[in-house]
Structure formats: C-alpha cells, structure tokens
Amino acid sequence: MSGDKVWLVTGASRGIGLAIAERVHAAGDRVAILARGDDVSGIAARLGDRCMACRADVSQRDQVDAAVAQVVSRWGRIDILVNNAGAHRGGKIEKLAPGDWQTVIDTNLTGALNVITAASPCLGDGGAVVNIGAVVGFRGFPGDAAYAASKAGIAGLTRALAIELAPRGITVNLVIPGLVLTEMTGALSQKALDSMRRKIPLGRFGEPDEIAEVVEFTARARYMTGAFVPADGGLMSSFGVLG
C-alpha cells in the first residue's frame, strides 16, 4: 500500500535516484534522499514535509550510520531501502588506475553493504531492500572492468541477503536498468550511444521514470525475493543473459 511507507533512497540527488524519490513521494510516502552534495537540501525543500535530506558518502560507514540515525529519529523506522548510489570509472585494464577501481568498488558495492548493514536493524516484517544493478554486471563490456565487477558483486550480495533476511520478512531484490541517459552516461560519445541503441530490442533508451516505476513495484511486491528484475528494453534477453 502506498502512502504509509518510509523510504531511504541513496544517490537520490539526480537521475534514477531522484526519479524514485519523486515517484514515491507523489504516492504519499515519506522519503529520505541521501547523497553527497548540497543539492539534496534544495530537493527536500521543494518536495516538502514528507521528504528529508541526508548528506552522506555511502563509502564512509560513519556517515551512513549518522544518516540512518537521522531518519529513524525523525520518522521512527525505515520500511524500504533503495541502494542506487553509484560511481563509474572506465578504462581498459592496462589503463585502469588503482584509485579508480577502488572508488567504484567502495561506492557501488561496499557502499551498498554499508547502507544495508546500518539500516537493516530498522527494517521490520514487510521491509524491503532494492539494489540497483546493471546489464554490464552480467555481460562483459571492454573498458568497464571496475563497474562490471561492482555490479556483479551487487547481484551476489542480493541473493545472499535475500536468504539471510527472509526469516525477518524482509525482501531483497535487484532491479537491472538498461541504458538510461543520465549524468553518469553523459561522457559517452554519440557513436557509442548509437551503437548501443541498436542493440536494444525496443529501439530506444530508458527514462529515469520508467526505472522508478519498476523499483516501486519491486519494493512493494511481498512474495518476491532474491529476484533479478530487468528494466532494459529487452537488452538482456537479446544477449541471452539470465537464461
């Protein structure tokens, strides 16, 4: 049921994360938007009383703990956690800087674990965790070793935690967006974008709102856990991924 849930959405200052926050807020739920930048305060002010801003870097456990405590202090609980915060650093393996590898793993994988670990004591029966994956976590793409490894790790984390948290009535699922034009994909050349679009059976890129729709459905579904839910225009089917 919408209108009575408390959401914590990471990486919610732009793109998919912001679309998720705006969608569930419009449904009447309360939402805490967590991101590193100052812009979260302006977003929360725009959305109003049922939205709060939490400034934190998910790779820093102390900051995550403080943000979760802030949400619980205001609203008493967390019902739904969406791990959307992400970093991307490209480069073929011989050119991939160790620092770039570590940034991606620390943000995308360790960051998700930090937030789940901090928030899970606040999740009760009927709680949900939705992790945001990526097609590249299942299908190799040259020059994307760090991002692919982090997203493959999120897939494994999802299935392990789905089993671990099931006795508490908490679902854990993975939503897998296809190519969505956001700030993170802004560095891609037009040639690369055209090439990628031709591989998508629906013939177009996704919109943040379309991913948010799938995330909301997945979070509210009560008899689905450990599932991988593509929202990719058919891209994974065209590659024969996930069987």
Which among 229, 232, 228 is positioned nearest to 200, based on CA atoms?
232
223 as an active site residue: the answer is: no
Contact between 170 and 222 (Cβ < 8 Å): no
Q: Apex CA 230: angle with CA 71 and CA 50, to 5°? A: 25
Phi, psi (rounded to 5 degrees) for 160: -65, -45
**DSSP code string of 164-200:** HHGGGT-EEEEEEE--B-SGGGTTS-HHHHHHHHHT-
Q: How far apart are CA 44 and CA 52, in angstroms?
A: 5
Check 7, 101, 138, 147 and give the catalytic one.
147
SS3 219: helix
Evaluate whether 10 touches 82 at the Cβ level (below 8 Å).
yes
Catalytic site positions: 147
